C-alpha cells in the first residue's frame, strides 16, 4: 500500500526527516511514536502533500504510484486522509456543505454519481452516532468555536464519512479525556478491515490500548530508530525516549 | 472644471420647469442656492482629506445629461429577489416608472410616493424635512444633487406602524449613454414604527452613466429602521451615494451596504445619534475587480450619552482594484457611556489590488468604550491545505474561503430572500461556488 524509502525532507532549509524508511501493507496499523520535534507531523504533512515541505531525497510509493507527484486533493481522492493534530477553523464555511463537497469530489474522481442531499444526510447521521458527535456541529462553520475534543471528534467523523484507504492520525489522542479517547478509538476501529491501512502517530502509549497496532516504530530526530510490536510501546511508556536517542 | 459647471448649469436651465416641485418657491430657492454652491465648489478635488484616495476627475470629463423622458422598459427583471412580497417602486434612468412599479397599495399608516407626487401632494411636509439632515454645502455632489434632483422617493411611516412588507426602491439603468440621475430619497419613520427599506441599483448593459444619490432617513423615538443598499451598477458606471441618518431616543438603525458594481463607487454614511439610547449597526460588503474603485466613508456621531454603534465592513479585492475605507467615530463631550466598535477586514486576492483603511476615532468624553480594528490579508494557506486534504480542488477551496470571508455579513441579513440574493450574487462573482444557498448555517 505505502512504501517510504530513504525519505529526506527539509522545511525552511532545515532537514527534518533524514532518511526515513517505512512500509505499510493493506490492512495494517502502524504506530509511530517519538519525542516532540522528532518529525512526526512533518511526515504526516509530507504524505498529504502540504506545501513548504521539500523532499530532497528518497521516494514514496502509494498503491504502486509515485505519491509525491500527486496534488494534495488528488491524494485525498485516492484515499489518503490526515486527521490533523491541530484541525483548522474555517470561519463562514458551513461544515455540512464542505463535507458534502468532499464526498462528491471523491465520487466524481472515481466516476461515481454524486450523492444527493438526502443520501448525504442519512450517511452523516449514521456516522455521527459512531463518534457520538452532536448533530448541530454540522450546521456550524468548519471547526469554528469547537472545543478541542469536538475538533478531534470531527476529524474522526470526517474520516468515517470519507472512508479512506490510508488514514494518518496525527496525535488524535492529545487533549482527549478517557471517554473521548474511547469513542474516537471506536470510530477508528469501526473502519479497520483488510483493505484499509493506518498510521497512528502518538506521543503516548495510552491510545494503543484502544487502537491496537500491528507494528510500532520509534521516530527520533528524523529517522526510525527502532521498530517492534505492541510491546515496544509499553517499553517506551516505562523508560521514556532518552535511552533510544542515545543509542541512535 | 468650469466647463462642467457650465454644463450642469445648462442642465438646470433646460429642465428646471419640469423638475419635481418646480414652482414651489422654497424649493426653487434651495435649488438655486445649491447651484451656486456647486459653482463654487465643483467636484471634490484630490487635495481634500475626504477624497485623498478617490479621484473623481473621470466624472468631470463627461457631460452627463438628465434623462428627458421616462423609458418604458429597462430589460431587467424587477423581481430581484424572486417573489419577495414588497412595495416596489421602480425608476429607470433616474425617473419613476409607474409602469414597472408595483406599489402594492400601501395603506394609511405608510405612504410611498415618487418625488413629483410627494412635492405636489405633501409640499409642506417636504419643506419641513427635505434637506434638513443632509448638508447641501458638504461637497459638490451634495450641492449638485439638491440643485438637480430629478426624481426619487418619499416614504413616510406613521407612528407605531409596522409595515409587513419591505419597501423596495429599485433603480435601473436602461443602457442609454451618458445619463445622470440625481436621486433624492427621504424616509421618515415615526415614533415606535418599524420598517425595512431597500435601495437597489442595476444596469441592463455595461454602459457609462452617473448616479448621484442623497438619502435622508429620520428615525423617530423607539423606531427601528433596517436599510439595505445593493449596488450592482454597470462596471463602467459612476456611483456616488450619501446616506444621512438622524436617530432619536432609543431608536435603532441598521444598514447593510453591498457594493459590487461601478468603475467608481463612493458611499458616504453619516449617522447622527441625537438622543440617549440610540443604537446603530452598520454592515458593509464590497467586492472589486479589474480596475474598479470602491470607497466607503462612514461617520458616526455619538451626540448623546448611552448610545451604541457597531460597524463591520468587509472587502474582497482582486485584479487591480482599489478600495478605501474610512471610519470616523465622534464621541461628543457629553456622550458618556457611549460604546463604539468598528471593524474593517480586507481580503486581497491579487498582489495588484490595494486597500487604504483608516479608523478615525475622536473621543471627547471619558466614560466610553471604543474599539477598532482593521486587517488586510490573503487567504490562509492552512485553510486551503485543510480543504484540499479532504479532496476539494484548489479552485473550490479558494472559492469556499472567499465566500466564507463574506459569510458573516450575509448571515446578519434578516430578510431571507435578500440573503439568498446576496449569496447568488457572491456565487456569480466567485467562480467555483456550487449551490450557494446551501452555504447558509443551519442549512
Ligand atoms: N514550518 C516550520 N519551519 C521551521 N521548522 C519547522 C517547521 N515545522 C516544523 N519545524 C521543525 O521541525 C521539527 C519537527 O517538527 P514536527 O514534525 O512538528 O515534530 P513532531 O510532530 O514530531 O513533534 C521541529 O524541530 C520543528 O521545530
Ligand atoms: Mg506533531
Compute CA distances B352 → B314, B322, B355, B441, whole Å: 18, 9, 10, 33
Per the model's pLDDT, the better-predicted residue between B251 and B80 turns out to be B251
Tell if the pTM clears 0.95, that is, is over it: no
Contact (CB<8Å) A92/B406: yes
Nearest to B178 by CA among B68, B90, B73: B68
| ipTM of the prediction | 0.96
| Interface residues of chain B, partner chain A, Cβ below 8 Å | 380-383, 385-394, 396-397, 400-401, 403-408, 434-435, 438-443
Residue nearest to atom 16 of ligand 1 (CA): A39
Which three cell numbers mark A206?
495510552
Q: Taking residues B146-167, what's their average pLDDT?
A: 96
Structure confidence at residue B359 (pLDDT): 96
HSE value, Cβ hemisphere, 13 Å, CA-based, for A60: 23
Specify the ligand 1 atom closest to the Cα of A171.
21
Q: Residue B409: what pLDDT?
A: 95
Q: Is the pLDDT of residue B437 over 80?
A: no
For A130, how many CA atoms within 13 A lie in the half-sphere containing its CB? 21
pLDDT digits (tens, 9 = 90+) for A22-80: 999 999 999 999 989 999 999 999 999 999 999 999 999 999 999 999 999 999 999 99
Closest CA to B346 of B320, B372, B378: B378
The torsion defined by the Cα of B418, B424, B426 and B427, in degrees rounded to 10, comes to 160
Predicted local confidence at residue A46, as pLDDT:
97
Mean of per-residue pLDDT scores for chain B? 93
Select from A7, A15, A16 the residue to mutate for testing ligand 1; criterion: most ligand atoms less than 8 Å from CB: A16
| Minimal-distance CA residue of chain A relative to B408 | A92
pLDDT at B38: 97
Provide mean pLDDT across the span A195-200: 95
Average pLDDT, chain A: 93
Average pLDDT value for residue range A196-213: 92
Does residue B432 register a pLDDT over 90?
A: no
CA-to-CA distance for B363 and B298, rounded, in angstroms?
A: 16
Instruction: Band the pLDDT of A235: cuts 50, 70, 90.
Output: confident
Phi-psi region of B224 (alpha: psi -120 to 50; beta: other; left: phi over 0): beta
Q: So where are chain B's domains?
A: 2-275, 381-443
**pLDDT at residue B108 is higher than 50:** yes
| pLDDT(B153) > 90 | yes
Host H or E run for residue B225: strand B224-232
Q: Which of chain A's residues have a Cβ under 8 Å away from the Cβ of B380?
A: 88
Q: What pLDDT is stored for residue B442 in this prediction?
A: 41
More confident position, A233 or B390: B390
Instruction: Please name which of A125, A82, A79, A85 lies closest in space to residue A105, comparing C-alpha atoms.
Output: A79
pLDDT band at B104 (very low <50, low <70, confident <90, very high): confident
Per-residue confidence (pLDDT) for residue B141, from 0 to 100: 97
Give the Cα separation of A161 and A123 in Å (integer).
7
CA of A172 to the centre of ligand 2 (A): 10
* Of A69, A21, A17, A24, the residue nearest A196 (C-alpha): A24
Residues 6+ apart with CB under 8 A from B116: B20, B21, B96, B151
Name every protein residue with a CB atom under 6 angstroms from any ligand 1 atom: A 11-12, 14, 16, 34, 36-42
pLDDT value at B1 more than 70:
no
Contact A105 B396 (CB under 8 A): yes
Contact B390 A99 (CB under 8 A): yes
Mutate to test the interface with A, among B316, B375, B390 (most CBs of A within 10 A): B390
Query: What pLDDT does residue B82 have?
Result: 63
Local confidence band at B72 (pLDDT 50, 70, 90 cut-offs): low
Amino acid at each position: 500500500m505505502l512504501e517510504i524509502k530513504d525519505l529526506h525532507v527539509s522545511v525552511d532549509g532545515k532537514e527534518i526527516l533524514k532518511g526515513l524508511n517505512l512500509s505499510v501493507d493493506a490492512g495494517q496499523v502502524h504506530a509511530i511514536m517519538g519525542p516532540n520535534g522528532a518529525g512526526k507531523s512533518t511526515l504526516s504533512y509530507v504524505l498529504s502533500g502540504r506545501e513548504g515541505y521539500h523532499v530532497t531525497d528518497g521516494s514514496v510509493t502509494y498503491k504502486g504510484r509515485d505519491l509525491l507527484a500527486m496534488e494534495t486533493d488528488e491524494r485525498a481522492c485516492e484515499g489518503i486522509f490526515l486527521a490533523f493534530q491541530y484541525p483548522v477553523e474555517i470561519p463562514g464555511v458551513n461544515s455540512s456543505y464542505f463535507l458534502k463537497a468532499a464526498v462528491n469530489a471523491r465520487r466524481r474522481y472515481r466516476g461515481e454519481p454524486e450523492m444527493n442531499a438526502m443520501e448525504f444526510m442519512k450517511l452523516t447521521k449514521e456516522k455521527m452516532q459512531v463518534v457520538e458527535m452532536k448533530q448541530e456541529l454540522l450546521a456550524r462553520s468548519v471547526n469554528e468555536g469547537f472545543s478541542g475534543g469536538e475538533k478531534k471528534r470531527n476529524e474522526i467523523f470526517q474520516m468515517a464519512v470519507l472512508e479512506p484507504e490510508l488514514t494518518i492520525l496525527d496525535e488524535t489522542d492529545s487533549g482527549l479525556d478517557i471517554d473521548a479517547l474511547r469513542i474516537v478509538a471506536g470510530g477508528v476501529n469501526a473502519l479497520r478491515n483488510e483493505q484499509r491501512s493506518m498510521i497512528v502517530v502518538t506521543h503516548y502509549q495510552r491510545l494503543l490500548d484502544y487502537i491496537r497496532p500491528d507494528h510500532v516504530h520509534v521516530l527520533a530526530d528524523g529517522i526510525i530508530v527502532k521498530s517492534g510490536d505492541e510491546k515496544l510501546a509499553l517499553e517506551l511508556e516505562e523508560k521514556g525516549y532518552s535511552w533510544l536517542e542515545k543509542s541512535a | 472644471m468650469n466647463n462642467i459647471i457650465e454644463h450642469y448649469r445648462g442642465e438646470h436651465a433646460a429642465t428646471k420647469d419640469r423638475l419635481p416641485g418646480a414652482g414651489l418657491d422654497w424649493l426653487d430657492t434651495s435649488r438655486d442656492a445649491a447651484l451656486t454652491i456647486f459653482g463654487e465648489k465643483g467636484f471634490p478635488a484630490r487635495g481634500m482629506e475626504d477624497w485623498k484616495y478617490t479621484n473623481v476627475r473621470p466624472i468631470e470629463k463627461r457631460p452627463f445629461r438628465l434623462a428627458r423622458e421616462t423609458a418604458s422598459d429597462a430589460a431587467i427583471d424587477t423581481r430581484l429577489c424572486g417573489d419577495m412580497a414588497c412595495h416596489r417602486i421602480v425608476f429607470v434612468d433616474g425617473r419613476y416608472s409607474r409602469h414597472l412599479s408595483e406599489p402594492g397599495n400601501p395603506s394609511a399608516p405608510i405612504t410611498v410616493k415618487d418625488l413629483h407626487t410627494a412635492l405636489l401632494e405633501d409640499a409642506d411636509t417636504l419643506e419641513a424635512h427635505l434637506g434638513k439632515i443632509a448638508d447641501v454645502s458638504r461637497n459638490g455632489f451634495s450641492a449638485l444633487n439638491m440643485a438637480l434632483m430629478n426624481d426619487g422617493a418619499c416614504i413616510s411611516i406613521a407612528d407605531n406602524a409596522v409595515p409587513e412588507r419591505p419597501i423596495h426602491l429599485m433603480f435601473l439603468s436602461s443602457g442609454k449613454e451618458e445619463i445622470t440621475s440625481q436621486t433624492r430619497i427621504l424616509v421618515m419613520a415615526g415614533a415606535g414604527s418599524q420598517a425595512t427599506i431597500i435601495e437597489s441599483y442595476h444596469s441592463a448593459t455595461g454602459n457609462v452613466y452617473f448616479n448621484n444619490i442623497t438619502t435622508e432617513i429620520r428615525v423617530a423615538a423607539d423606531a427601528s429602521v433596517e436599510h439595505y443598499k445593493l449596488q450592482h451598477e454597470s462596471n463602467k458606471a459612476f456611483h456616488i451615494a450619501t446616506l444621512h441618518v438622524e436617530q432619536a431616543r432609543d431608536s435603532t438603525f441598521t444598514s447593510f451596504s453591498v457594493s459590487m458594481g461601478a468603475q467608481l463607487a463612493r458611499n458616504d454614511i453619516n449617522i447622527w445619534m441625537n438622543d440617549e439610547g440610540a443604537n446603530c449597526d452598520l454592515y458593509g460588503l464590497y467586492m472589486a475587480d479589474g480596475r474598479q474603485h470602491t470607497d466607503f466613508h462612514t461617520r458616526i456621531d455619538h451626540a448623546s450619552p448611552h448610545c451604541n454603534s457597531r460597524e463591520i465592513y468587509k472587502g474582497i479585492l482582486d485584479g487591480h482594484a482599489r478600495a478605501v475605507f474610512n471610519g470616523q467615530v465622534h464621541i461628543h463631550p457629553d456622550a458618556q457611556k457611549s460604546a463604539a466598535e468598528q471593524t474593517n477586514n480586507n481580503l486581497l486576492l491579487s498582489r495588484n489590488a490595494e486597500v487604504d483603511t483608516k479608523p478615525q476615532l475622536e473621543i471627547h468624553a471619558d466614560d466610553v468604550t471604543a474599539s477598532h480594528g482593521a486587517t488586510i490579508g490573503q487567504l490562509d494557506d492552512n485553510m486551503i491545505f485543510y480543504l484540499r486534504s479532504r479532496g476539494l480542488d484548489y479552485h473550490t477551496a479558494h472559492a469556499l474561503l472567499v465566500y466564507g470571508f463574506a459569510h458573516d455579513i450575509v448571515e446578519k441579513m434578516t430578510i431571507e430572500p435578500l440573503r439568498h440574493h446576496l449569496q447568488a450574487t457572491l456565487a456569480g462573482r466567485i467562480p467555483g461556488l456550487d449551490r450557494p444557498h446551501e452555504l447558509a448555517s443551519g442549512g
